[in-house]
């Protein structure tokens, strides 16, 4: 993950891995096997899943499929909470620094009273967004689970515990 704030402010642009794409493709295969999707529809969803590079792409690839989950409001909530927190902390820090510099008197860092609880709130929201994503498109394939191993382009025979990877 990059050291900037993009994952915090735009979690739908976080890159997805092969395991997440494989789990989404397995969901498409289950829908096809259950008769909820035709072969053409399944092929379309599977090609979109294979081309997905971000979380937003992956969700869009499954949109319109029967039983597709509605988009979560958590990423938007996280974005606004993080922006509000960062803005409030920046303004308070600047005001505090100006007070310290102009009065030449050390005033305790009162801006920490917003920084710490706000940071804990944003961290909790980030954890919820990540938990929601793992629930929808888990990054691990449970032991005994059999995702669609016939997905073209994925190599299942390697030493990483059976998780697929691109050759």
Q: Quick: pLDDT tens for 84-137.
A: 999 999 999 999 889 888 988 887 888 888 889 999 999 999 888 888 877 776
Are residues 119 and 66 both part of a single domain? no
Helix (H) or strand (E) holding 68: none
Are residues 84 and 6 both part of a single domain? no
Helix (H) or strand (E) holding 152: none
Are residues 49 and 96 both part of a single domain? no
Write down the pLDDT at residue 137: 67
pLDDT band at 138 (very low <50, low <70, confident <90, very high): low
Are residues 65 and 130 both part of a single domain? no
Question: Which residue is it, tokens 């899943």?
Answer: 49
Are residues 1 and 53 both part of a single domain? yes
For residue 139, pLDDT beyond 90 = no
pTM of the model as a whole: 0.60
Are residues 64 and 82 both part of a single domain? no
User: 92 with 111: CB under 8 angstroms?
Assistant: yes
Are residues 14 and 65 both part of a single domain? yes
Are residues 152 and 126 both part of a single domain? no
Are residues 67 and 83 both part of a single domain? no
Are residues 39 and 114 both part of a single domain? no
- Full residue range of the structural domain in which residue 153 is found: 1-71+138-167
Query: Considering only CA atoms, which of 28, 20, 56, 19 is closest in space to residue 136?
Result: 20
CA distances 95 to 82, 89, 153, Å, are 20, 10, 56
């Amino acid at each position: 993950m990059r050291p900037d704030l993009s994952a915090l402010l735009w979690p739908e642009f976080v890159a997805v891995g092969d395991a997440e794409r494989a789990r989404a493709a397995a969901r498409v295969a289950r829908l096809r096997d259950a008769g909820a999707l035709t072969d053409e529809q399944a092929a379309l969803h599977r090609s979109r899943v294979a081309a997905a590079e971000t979380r937003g792409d992956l969700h869009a690839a499954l949109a319109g499929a029967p039983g597709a989950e509605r988009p979560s409001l958590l990423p938007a909530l996280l974005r606004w909470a993080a922006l509000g927190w960062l803005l409030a902390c920046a303004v308070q820090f600047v005001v505090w620094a100006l007070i310290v510099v102009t009065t030449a008197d050390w005033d305790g860092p009162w801006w920490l009273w917003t920084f710490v609880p706000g940071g804990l709130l944003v961290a909790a929201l980030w954890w919820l967004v990540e938990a929601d994503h793992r629930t929808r498109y888990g990054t691990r394939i449970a032991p005994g689970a059999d995702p669609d191993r016939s997905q073209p382009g994925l190599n299942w025979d390697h030493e990483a515990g059976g998780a697929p990877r691109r050759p």
